[in-house]
Amino acid sequence: KAGVTQTPRYLIKTRGQQVTLSCSPISGHRSVSWYQQTPGQGLQFLFEYFSETQRNKGNFPGRFSGRQFSNSRSEMNVSTLELGDSALYLCASSIDRSGELFFGEGSRLTVL
Amino acid sequence: TQLLEQSPQFLSIQEGENLTVYCNSSSVFSSLQWYRQEPGEGPVLLVTVVTGGEVKKLKRLTFQFGDARKDSSLHITAAQPGDTGLYLCAGGGFQKLVFGTGTRLLVSP
């Protein structure tokens, strides 16, 4: 079956712009989580969505937001981009809130 | 704040050698997971350990959870080039994982 699909895979933005990243979970998976991966900070939890509701949020500023749609697809948005937002953004889905996470290949964001 | 420190950060070995990666914390975790991430891909779950003192084997990989559930180790026997990758421990429950600092392993033929 198809895995977690993230789009776009690569993107370049400039400081001050905003970006929206998309994640399509594995069919039947209802929970979607987002993580940021950087060389300096490693993998850090951003947020978790289940049944269109944000259930957990990591320690990131309000510029980072997300949502989940009724078909479990999720988007995350970063506004007023900063150089430090350059990272690989990973989406993971699970069948429910206690199940194994399956990660997508990520969206690599470069902020110039 | 729960933190997971991994050591070593980098490991470069020859095919056939054995190695151990450590994951340590000052906090108690209800469970720990180990992931492997290859370039251009997301992390893939290798194993979950939930009981203090638990040992799990996955072919040439042996995972151990410390008795106090604050640390874990991953031992690879007779490493192969296909084992190359970034190894990450993680804890805190699948809803909000705390990832370790990572160990980058390179196995040369």
Chain B nearest-CA residue for A31? B95
Do A101 and B97 make contact, defined as CB atoms within 8 angstroms?
yes
Among residues B73, B57, B62, B65, the alpha carbon closest in space to that of B30 is found at: B65
Residue B66 CB burial class (10 angstroms; 0-12, 13-18, ≥19): buried
pLDDT grade, residue A1 (50/70/90)?
low
Q: How remote is the C-alpha of A57 from its chain's centroid?
A: 12
Confidence band, pLDDT 50/70/90 cuts, at residue B1: low
CB atoms within 10 A of CB A64: 18
- Note the pLDDT of residue A99: 84
Q: What is the pLDDT of residues A87-111, one digit of tens each?
A: 999 999 999 888 899 999 999 999 9
* Residue-level pLDDT at A20: 98
The residue-averaged pLDDT of B2-26 equals 95
**B43 token code pair:** 């992390």
How far off is chain A from B15, nearest CA to CA, in Å? 27
**At A81, phi and psi to the nearest 5?**
-60, 140
Mutate to test the interface with A, among B95, B99, B101, B103 (most CBs of A within 10 A): B95
The whole-number pLDDT of residue A97 equals 86
Q: Decide if A56 and B96 are in contact by the 8 Å CB cutoff.
A: yes
Confidence of residue B2 (pLDDT cuts 50, 70, 90): confident
- Average pLDDT in chain A: 95
Confidence of residue A16 (pLDDT cuts 50, 70, 90): very high
Strand order in the sheet with B19-24: B5-7, B19-24, B71-76, B61-65, B55-58
Report, as an integer, the average pLDDT of A35-44: 94
Asked if the Cβ–Cβ distance from A105 to B95 is below 8 Å, we say no
Q: Is the pLDDT of residue A56 over 90?
A: yes
**CA neighbor of A46 nearest in space, from A4, A26, A56:** A56
pLDDT at A109: 98
pLDDT band at B3 (very low <50, low <70, confident <90, very high): confident
- Give the pLDDT confidence of B22-77 residue by residue, as tens digits: 999 999 998 999 999 999 899 999 999 999 999 999 999 999 999 999 999 999 99
Task: Considering only the beta carbons, identify the residue of A45, A56, A103 that sits closest to B42.
Answer: A103
CB-CB under 8 Å, A100 with B95: no
Instruction: Provide the shortest C-alpha distance from residue B101 to chain A (in Å).
Output: 6
* Chain B residues within 8 angstroms (CB to CB) of chain A: 40-45, 48, 88, 90, 93-102
Mutate to test the interface with B, among A101, A102, A107 (most CBs of B within 10 A): A101
* Closest Cβ–Cβ partner in B41, B94, B99 for A43: B99
Q: Are B94 and A100 in contact (CB < 8 Å)?
A: yes
Residue A34, pLDDT > 90, answer yes
